[in-house]
Amino acid sequence: MKKCINLADIDTNLSCSDQDNMGGIVPVVIFGYADEVGTWPEKPTPEVADTAIDMEAAGALVGDVVMNDGCHAYKFEFTDDVGSFTIAPQGENGGESFLYTLSIINAKIRKKILGFVNAVKGKKIFFIVQDNNGVCYLMGDATRGARLANDSEGFVTGTNPTERNQASLNFTYSCPRALCYEGDTVNLLTAAAGG
């Protein structure tokens, strides 16, 4: 069988910066309609045919999310310390892939949040999620988008004054590989000009 990725030792001798490890995600995600993306980053591949890539390269997308002319991405700020992001293996033997799940809670039910859910239901969207260690992840690609999942609590008023009135939302995306995103997270927030 052809070797696509070169194996390497994985040790616990972390660099000084790697010793900082904090759970959770930054309480703001970047999002947009998937059909407004002009260029998607590529999955990592070897530079020379019939060669394998190293494990570091095999864990990250290559390139940027670039929006179509006149389009841009948006920011969604949500309540601190209640969001989570997971990448979980899924699929049968020989058909393995990864399920990315983003779960966020926005305190207080608002018209804008209801409007957001109405805008994205049934649509392919994308998210860029950053964890508290500075690593970003992209949910969405040229063929599959992230989708609003039906397994969240949705909009809950709470039963007494000490409970949070909130919107609880889950989004899922299936990808053939588990990858981080190292591309642009600034320019795509401004309307693209010239494609």
Q: Identify the pLDDT of residue 194.
A: 58
Rounded mean pLDDT of 113-136?
97
- Cα gap 57→43, rounded to integer Å: 10
Q: Could you tell me the CA-to-CA distances from 4 to 21, 52, 88, 89, 123 in Å, in that order?
A: 30, 5, 22, 19, 34
- Cα gap 147→152, rounded to integer Å: 12
- Report whether pLDDT(157) > 80: yes
Q: Identify the pLDDT of residue 1.
A: 58
Rounded mean pLDDT of 31-50?
91
Rounded mean pLDDT of 160-189?
96
Between residues 92 and 195, which one has the greater pLDDT?
Answer: 92
Output the average pLDDT for the chain: 92
Q: Identify the pLDDT of residue 15.
A: 72
Q: Identify the pLDDT of residue 195.
A: 45
Between residues 40 and 152, which one has the greater pLDDT?
Answer: 40
Rounded mean pLDDT of 95-119?
96
- Cα gap 77→107, rounded to integer Å: 10
Amino acid at 114: L
Whether the Cβ atoms of residue 5 and residue 53 lie closer than 8 Å to each other: yes
Between residues 22 and 16, which one has the greater pLDDT?
Answer: 22
**Which neighbouring-strand residues pair with 99?**
88, 174
Reported as a pLDDT band with limits 50, 70 and 90, residue 192 is: low
